[in-house]
């Protein structure tokens, strides 16, 4: 396994763990917020699919609506 594959897998695991932590916190606070994530590109906010949440790339600008 090369270092890029390993780094991508580590980021995936980190994103999954963060999602679990957010879910646990929101449950404790009494609700689950609606979250939408947008990629800001060419003066437009393009909603990204939930399956891509947590996959952010350097140089891109994102809007997270909670």
Range in 11-20, 29-38, 51-60 with the lowest mean pLDDT: 29-38
Tell me: do 42 and 66 sit in the same domain. Answer: yes
Q: In the structure, what pLDDT confidence band is assigned to residue 22 with cuts at 50, 70 and 90?
A: confident
- 38 and 59 part of one domain: yes
Could you tell me which residues come within 8 angstroms of residue 50 by beta carbon, excluding any fewer than 6 positions away?
none
- Does residue 39 share a domain with residue 13? no
Give me the domain span that covers residue 21. Answer: 1-31
Neighbours of 22 (CB within 10 A): 14
* pLDDT higher than threshold 80 for residue 8: no
**Do 39 and 14 fall within a single domain?**
no
Contact 35, 47 (CB under 8 A): no
Q: What is the total count of domains within the chain? A: 2
> What pLDDT shows up at residue 26?
80
Q: Are residues 41 and 22 in the same domain?
A: no
Are 42 and 62 part of one and the same domain?
Answer: yes
């Amino acid at each position: 396994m090369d270092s890029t594959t390993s780094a991508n897998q580590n980021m995936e695991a980190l994103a999954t763990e963060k999602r679990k932590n957010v879910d646990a916190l929101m449950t404790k606070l009494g609700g689950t917020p609606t979250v939408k994530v947008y990629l800001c590109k060419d003066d437009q906010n393009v909603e990204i699919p939930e399956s891509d949440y947590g996959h952010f790339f350097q140089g891109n600008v994102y809007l997270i609506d909670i």
